[in-house]
Amino acid sequence: MQTKMMEVNEERSYEIAADYLNNGEVVAFPTETVYGLGAVATNQGAVTKIFEAKGRPSDNPLIVHIGSKEEVEKYAVEVPAHAKVLMEHFWPGPLTLIMKVKPGVLAENVTAGLDTVGIRMPDHPVALKLLQTVKQPVAAPSANRSGKPSPTEAEHVYHDLEGKIPLILNGGATGIGVESTVLDVTTATPVILRPGGVTKEMLEEIIGPVEDSIPFGVGEKEAPRAPGMKYQHYAPDSPVYLIEQNYENIEQAISELHNDGKKVAFIGPDAFLDTGADWFFSTGSLEDLSEFTKSLYAALRACDDTEADVILATATKREGVGAAIMNRLEKAADRKWYKLAEE
Ligand code: TXA
Ligand code: MG
């Protein structure tokens, strides 16, 4: 299959993309978080193509994207009161709400057999216009091969899925750079299943206390509440180690690795540019975590194009969007921290 990359500078692009979707094909498109790989969510055969193209385990459910808030009623049995408030505040935006699914409307493989469905209205002009042209709910996971970092540029999608999907809508780099917050609103106190663009602090300001789930290293017998959390994600080819944002320690770590004959790629703020790494991938200024989220996945991917034996990535604080960054970094690093030889 030939994969076309299409710019979205004209009306016609949306009609072409909508035709593919309405004919049971998959299409990659930008959202404000990451690129998604979409299929019409009521078409089981089309949704199967998503799982095949990504190499995604079939027990991992997909998020349903809608083009207007009202549509949520079509797919959720009940929209809890706090969910309505959250939709008013954060939709369109990077917040996925997990609700009880209305039986018999969506294709069964969208929800992977669960009795709940994740729904969000994305805040990106291309995604919204596409949804409004298709006039159907669109199931879309991130448009990467399973196990790779989510794509924040159309070229990342092409790299991962070339030959496996017919069309990529190119809307440039995405804005936020990490995926949406997944919030289970089926319980009295909502639970964050995946931290993302809408932070815990932002949620609590609107609806009061929300809980964190324990997303990493879930025991084998304990079923994770967001099935996707049990898979190791976002892993570059070489091992990643976390390291504190401490100039001297970073310098020492890199020199130790060099003495060991290892080449080092580094992911972190500009402030650490001169610590001696063989490849440096900037996450922007020390203070601005939104620059970190924006650049993180491209940096992880760029590491795969180097000959680095080891990747060092700086940890951030865990407040605000730092929770989402650390969640992704801990997965990429398999929670390994670099240990200095002498401290
Ligand atoms: O920002 C995003 O959310 C992007 C863009 C494309 O919208 N999508 C995305 O989808 O990240 P995906 O499939 O890569 O991640 C969806 C996560 C997975 O961890 C999945 O297990 C969880 O949401 N999820 C989906 N439906 C669920 C459900 N009914 N119950 C619990 N978790 C669910
Ligand atoms: Mg994903």
Q: 76: Cβ below 6 Å to ligand 1?
A: no
The residue-averaged pLDDT of 140-165 equals 96
Is residue 151 scored above 80 in pLDDT?
Answer: yes
Instruction: Dump pLDDT digits (tens) for 174-213.
Output: 999 999 999 999 999 999 999 999 999 999 999 999 999 8
Architecture per CATH, domain 240-332, reads as 3-Layer(aba) Sandwich (3.40)
User: 158 to each of 50, 145, 165, 181, 320, how far by Cα in Å?
Assistant: 15, 10, 9, 25, 32
Q: Is the CB of 195 under 6 A from ligand 1?
A: no
The ligand with the least distance to the CA atom of 60 is 1
* Confidence class for position 221, pLDDT limits 50, 70, 90: very low
pLDDT > 90? residue 226: no
The CB of 110 under 6 Å from ligand 1? The reply is: no
Say yes or no to pLDDT of 223 above 60.
no
Q: Closest ligand 1 atom to the C-alpha of 182?
A: 23
- Specify the ligand 1 atom closest to the Cα of 194: 19
148 lines ligand 1 (CB under 6 A): no
pTM here is 0.95
Separation of CA 247 and ligand 1 centre (Å): 36
Q: How far is CA 57 from CA 60, 83, 90, 189, in A?
A: 6, 29, 30, 29
Structure tokens at 158: 């092409």
At residue 237 the predicted structure's pLDDT band, cuts being 50, 70 and 90, is confident
Domain parsing of the chain, residue ranges: 4-212, 240-332
State whether the beta carbon of 31 lies less than 6 angstroms from ligand 1.
Answer: yes
ipTM at complex level: 0.99
Quick one: which H or E segment has residue 150? none
The answer to whether 4-212 and 240-332 have equal CATH topology is no
Q: What is the number of other CB atoms lying within 10 angstroms of the CB of residue 42?
A: 17
Tell me: pLDDT of 18 over 90: yes
63 lines ligand 1 (CB under 6 A): yes
Q: Is 181 in the pocket of ligand 1 (CB under 6 A)?
A: no
**Largest Cα–Cα distance of the chain, in whole Å?**
62
Ligand 2 midpoint to CA 107 (Å): 19
Fold of the 4-212 domain: DHBP synthase (3.90.870)
The beta strands (E) that lie in 23-81 are given as: 27-30, 35-40, 63-65
Ligand minimally distant from the alpha carbon of residue 35 = 1
CA 278 to chain centre: 28
Section 36-56 average pLDDT: 98
**Residue in 179, 230, 293 to alter for ligand 1 test, most ligand atoms within 8 A of Cβ:** 179
pLDDT at position 9 is 82
- Greater confidence, 228 or 56? 56
What is d(CA 22, CA 13) in angstroms, rounded to the nearest whole number? 14
The rounded percent of the chain whose pLDDT value lies above 90 is 90
Q: Reply yes or no on whether the pLDDT at 218 is more than 60.
A: no
Q: For residue 121, report the distance from its CA to the centre of ligand 2, in Å.
A: 17
Long-range pairs for 185-192: beta carbons < 8 A, 24 or more residues apart: 185/80, 185/82, 185/83, 185/86, 185/97, 185/98, 185/99, 186/80, 186/98, 186/99, 186/100, 186/116, 190/82, 191/225
